[in-house]
Amino acid sequence: MRLEKVHWIGIIFSLVVLVADVVFFRDDKLFIFLIGIGLVIAALPFIVSLVLDNTREKEKNEKFLEFTRNLAESVKSGNPIAQSILNPFYRLGGDIFLDQIFMELNFT
């Protein structure tokens, strides 16, 4: 996992909270509580990005399963494999959609 801007902001904000905690609340009852808050602030961006990545990965897997099922049904019905692969893309928007996919995958 790469450290992105959001992660760095969370780490810096956490360090600010921890430094302020040590400077102002060293002998107070809030000292331990604010250390915990600082650690949660540091961990929160990582947890959120992990959850979002897992959600995206799950969505990709579901789409792949749907694609393979459609491909198998299309081949069983007698279509050639190459045409069966391209049929879902043409249904979604034709050549423009295919061009966008190939540009994203750097096939052009």
Q: Which two tokens stand for residue 12?
A: 């810096």
pLDDT digits (tens, 9 = 90+) for 26-66: 888 889 999 999 999 999 999 999 999 999 899 888 888 88
Half-sphere exposure of 24 (CA within 13 A, CB side): 9
Question: Of 5-9, 21-25, 36-40, 59-63, which range is least confident?
Answer: 59-63
Q: What are the domain boundaries of the chain?
A: 5-60
- What is the pLDDT at residue 22? 92
Give, rounded to a whole angstrom, the gap between the first and last alpha carbons of the chain. 28
- Cα–Cα nearest to 1, from 54, 49, 56, 52: 49
Q: What is the 8-class DSSP label of residue 25? A: S
Instruction: Check whether 97 has a pLDDT greater than 70.
Output: no
**pLDDT of 108 above 50:** no
